[in-house]
Amino acid sequence: MANTIRQERRILTDAEFETVAASHYPAICDMPREELVSLARRLREYHGKARDLTHHRRREQRGKAEPRGTTPAPSEAGTSRKKQVFAAALKRLNRQIARLDDLDRGPSQGEIARRALEMKRANQRRHHPSAGRSAGRGMQARPSTAPTLRTDPREIGRVSQFVRDAQLRRDG
């Protein structure tokens, strides 16, 4: 589930929140690519720190690791939520960086193909010369000389006597 900005402010420290707040909508659109990359680097550091702390606290609770302080570790739920907030911010930044890279890359393959099709259609012309003079009457239809079999409409869907007789004669 996505966290609201209000929840993020409650979960994170001031420095962490300023970094995450820069990854939200209106602020992220105004940043140049270099700032986005440096912001992503800071967020990765925060995310790694939260991940390591969560991992260590879970190990302490299971009894696999020694406590860091004099008291046992509290629940890792808060640091786990911090980690999720940082991951969501990183996802937003990576998407924005990819968008900027796509703009710098130039036209996509689909755009190139559409432009080529437009050019082809604009340059279409007939390459066939005219037929010139032709015979006066042209081609005439000739009736078929093959015998036609008329089937009684009542016999459609059934094997007619005529067909059965033909099969018997053929099979011998």
pLDDT tens digits along 28-42: 999 999 999 999 999
The pTM of this model reads 0.59
pLDDT at 88: 96
Average pLDDT over residues 72-86: 87
CA atoms within 13 A on the CB side of 79: 17
Q: Is residue 128 part of a domain?
A: no
Does 77 or 13 have the greater pLDDT score?
13
State the residue range of the domain holding 37.
5-119
Does 145 or 19 have the greater pLDDT score?
19
Q: Is residue 44 part of a domain?
A: yes
Distance (Å, whole) CA 80 – CA 54? 6
Secondary structure of residue 35 in the 3-state scheme: helix
Q: Is residue 141 part of a domain?
A: no
pLDDT at 71: 75
Q: Is residue 138 part of a domain?
A: no
If one counts the domains in the chain, the total is: 1
pLDDT at 45: 97
